[in-house]
Amino acid sequence: MRASEPIDVLVTAAREARDRAIAPYSHFRVGAALETADGRIITGCNIENASYGLTTCAERVALLKALSEGHRVFTRIAVVADTAAPTPPCGPCRQLLWEYCGDIPVIMANLATVTSTTPLAALFPMPFDHRSL
């Protein structure tokens, strides 16, 4: 997929990633699809653990996979959950997305439709980054 591709291609990839989520405790499955500058899509799903603090969000899985594969520039991310309202990234995910992606669009969707598209800066208005050091 290239950056000019329709949003539904990215959302579909996030929905498919959600199907692979491992959520035996919360039963709250989330999928994410992160688009690289060259149009590749890197997906992730949430992976829970009995030691809840070790649970990893879908957004972080996608981001860390992308970074570990050498990608450094990202254009947008889609996050999918089975909710009526938009499901935004959690605080730690927002921090990591800001650090490595900057102010990218965050596309939130459920199993049927896109529920919101919001710039990351609107979700994370006072980020801690290199300017804070």
**Which residues are catalytically annotated?**
59
- C-beta of residue 120 within 8 angstroms of C-beta of residue 98: yes
Strand-pair category, 74-81 with 105-109? parallel
Nearest alpha-carbon partner for 18 in 42, 40, 41, 46:
46
Report which secondary-structure segment, H or E, holds 34. Answer: strand 30-36
- C-beta of residue 108 within 8 angstroms of C-beta of residue 116: yes
Strand partners, 76: 35
